Amino acid sequence: MDATTLKEIEETLAQLTLEEKISLLAGKDFWRTVPLPEKQIPSIKVSDGPSGARGDTFSGGQKAAFFPSGILMGATFNPELAYETGELLSEEVRAKSASVLLAPTACCHRSPLGGRNFESYSEDPLLSGKMASGYIRGVQSRGIAATMKHFVANEQETWRLYVDETIDETTLREIYLKPFEIAMREGQPWAIMTAYNIINGVHCDSHPLTLKQVLRGEWNYEGLVMSDWFGCNSMVESLLAGLDLEMPGPARKRPIKEFVEAAEKDESVRKAIDDSARRILTLIAKVGKWKDMTPEAPEYSRNDPETGKLIRRAGGEGTVLLKNEGKTLPLQPGSLKKVAFIGPNAKATVAGGGGSANLEPNYLTQPYETFVTAIKEINGDIEVPWVQGCIIDRWVPNIDVEGGFCRVGGPDSEAGLFLEWFRGYEATGEPVATTVFKTSNAFLWDSRPTSISPSEEFSVRFSGQISVPEDGKYNISLSTITASKLYLNGELLIDNWDFKERGNLMMNVGSEEVVKTIELKKGEWYPILVHNSSIWPKDSPRDPPMEEIGALGIRLGVAPVYDNAVLIAEAADAVKDADAVVIVVGLNNEWESESYDRSDTKLPNNQDDLIEEIAKVNQNVIVVNQSGAPVDMPWAENSNVKAIVQAWYAGQEAGHVIADVLLGKQNPSGKLPLTFPIKVQDNPSYLYFPGRDQKVEYTEKLMVGYRYYDTENVQTRFPFGYGLSYSTFSIGEPSLSTAELTEGQTFTANVDVSNTSNVAGAEVVQLYVKRPASTSSIKRPVKELKGFKKVHLGTGETATANITVDDKSLGIWSTEAGKWVVEAGDYEVLIGTSSVQDELKPAGKITVKAAWSWI
């Protein structure tokens, strides 16, 4: 930022009254900062999130590009690709008239059960930090601020607003702060978002160690720090720790009158107010909005073809080929007559996980349709039958609005459901506002008309007409945040007015799903209406933030009743004569989401049974798994399961990505950014996740992920860093640029990588370090990832991978000294293509003759 702008910021700050400065320290509304027009200070808008720019409407808003989830990007081991993704994400943010993107999520995976694992990159802090850094630099290269989150140690969703985590300082610094430190140094994000959780008794938004000592002090961070939404827990304490902005607005913990009184009594508070106000003004300038009082433009959807191409390419780079016996993949359509395509996700559009990472996609692609189109272009005579196999819905699916089974007013009217807002609890009279929703999942926490105060009585009607494709029994479901009733054909079907239990829907504030089963007939249109009032049921657990903002929420589901045992039997019978069977299984945004964790790592709803039954009758089974975290694979060693593809969540191009990989249009080059244990009980955090009585101890300390499995020799299903390819590679003998390291120096490992096949591909060279015996009081891993390089090679091509490691990468935190220390001794450097010890090649030893330390 130029000197003139810096001077103008100081001049503007000097002109502000104390009240005006304080007004800047909390949001204006859900997604905007407070403007001061008379002082030429504009409001800037923020937008979720990690998988794309959703805009200012949580559900039913403008469409946006749906990018791959963080875990898939982590599997690419390619920070340059993260940079490219960030560049295009910045354009998406601009299309939503926003200036700040609430991403990336840089937290490490502590447990495979973490509900939000899909959103972040890895169990390893180095990989997480490098990927986050690339993403941040890409976003900010085009003038949009990235917001790295959630600072810090946000590894679980259970009790997320108030779980108290006991973490020793060494573990906190070396595992959970480390990705933020790396990205801070290499990416320099313009904003940081604090986490909800408590660490060692103190909320993250006011934590003196992480915020004041480390972030503001040791790292000298001068950017903006904002709270997670409703995650500001104090007025003065959070300010003095370094939290600049309470979100969302209007202020809850930072009322102007009380803040003024506190400032008038304490000079340190006044100085902190100035510092935070300055940082907010600086961010406004960084994103190009300084003194720009132009009215906010309407949001729009870019739907840019080049963005789609990048998403598709990234999907292939992050897809991990876990098994490929007999070169089953890629499929050779010319030699096949019949390929069965089955499974619960085969015809599903599984793009990402749930929560704030979700959005209204420009489009979605499903595996079966894209596969059929692609394979028939090669062999028009091939048969590709589809069989359901089983259903994996956690809740009754949303009404199929886009499929033509839901209309605002009948068969010839607009597709969707009609939402009307009313004053009063009864939803009668003239509506205050109306809109048409293209989904039956209406989370109304940010769309209440501004003319209705959250403190007054109000209600909505959500109505339309539905039809069904076949005669039969159907489940109709309802979940809401507040009191509601559902009417079908004018008759009360579900009374949810005085519900008592809350479930996982709508960020854990929705009621438990209520389901009724009735007979419906094809060709008939059934009027459906939900009356949802702002009354909070008296015996139901309340949610103060949602109550304060006047949040409503409605989720309607309609789906036929099914029996998985019958569906599995039908599938097994249908695939007996197929040359190959592709089974697409996994999870979706109902099973992996913000606001709740998984209870186990099993594939839900009989999917393992489906795979095993298919493998009994067909000897050429290919399993494609879509999930954002490890799942059990008890069938992985089955000789009839020839290939396994870990496809993660690839965004709007997920269907194309799966088809590309199966047919060899893309050569999968992903590596596992986390360990797949044989069973969840093998994970080191298992006995202490998510804890008890809203408390959790990080008893595994540094032994997170592969660090534990390698150190304790625990067998895994698939190890960290592992992934196959359609190419074959050979790794030469590695060498080191130096045999000795002193403070301020680096060393480089060099190794030739050759593509020994006739298929172009990419290999990830990984550098691990085994440190000398330590004087540290904490048990240390046998080895740790300290560098990596992805090398793209044509057929028969050889290139040299150069991996440079700086002196600070060898440091460990000494609690005794209160410093980072590089201990004297010999450090063994190992090179390979996964973390498997027996497959790593020694590159040599780096000797540190004299220790050094730093803060």
Cβ of 498: how many Cβ atoms within 10 Å?
11
Q: How far is the C-alpha of 652 from the C-alpha of 308, rounded, in Å?
A: 8
Angstrom distances, CA of residue 680 to CA of 72, 114, 601, 685: 21, 12, 6, 9
* Residue 221 phi, psi dihedral angles, 5° rounding: -80, 125
Degrees, nearest 5: CA angle 460-462-465: 155
List the 198-199 sheet strands across, edge first. 202-203, 198-199, 164-166, 695-697
Among candidate residues 97, 175, 170, the one with its CA nearest the CA of residue 706: 175
Strand partners, 177: none
Q: How far is the C-alpha of 124 from the C-alpha of 764, rounded, in Å?
A: 15
Q: In the structure encoding, which two tokens stand for residue 331, read together?
A: 């499929």
Catalytic one among 56, 228, 682, 710? 228
Q: Does the annotation count 446 as an active-site position?
A: no
Question: Contact, 136 vs 146, CB < 8 A?
Answer: yes
* Residue 453 phi, psi dihedral angles, 5° rounding: -80, 145
Q: What is the DSSP string of 415-440?
A: BSEEEEEEESTT--SS-SEEEEESSS
Q: How far is the C-alpha of 248 from the C-alpha of 28, rounded, in Å?
A: 7
Across 51-90, b (16+ Cβ under 10 Å) vs e yields bbbbbbbbbbbbbbbbbbbbbbbbbbbbbebbbbbbbbbb
Side chain identity at residue 826, one-letter code: D
Q: How far is the C-alpha of 179 from the C-alpha of 128, rounded, in Å?
A: 6
Question: Contact, 584 vs 626, CB < 8 A?
Answer: yes
Question: Contact, 321 vs 725, CB < 8 A?
Answer: yes
Beta strands in 450-525 (DSSP E): 458-466, 472-480, 484-488, 491-496, 514-520
Side chain identity at residue 373, one-letter code: T
Q: In the structure encoding, which two tokens stand for residue 51, read together?
A: 């998988």
Degrees, nearest 5: CA angle 130-86-242: 70
Q: How far is the C-alpha of 776 from the C-alpha of 781, rounded, in Å?
A: 12
Q: How far is the C-alpha of 831 from the C-alpha of 748, rounded, in Å?
A: 12
Placement of tokens 């740790």 in the chain:
784
Cβ of 733: how many Cβ atoms within 10 Å?
11
Question: Contact, 45 vs 270, CB < 8 A?
Answer: no
Q: How far is the C-alpha of 85 from the C-alpha of 83, rounded, in Å?
A: 5
Q: What are the residue numbers of the active site?
A: 228
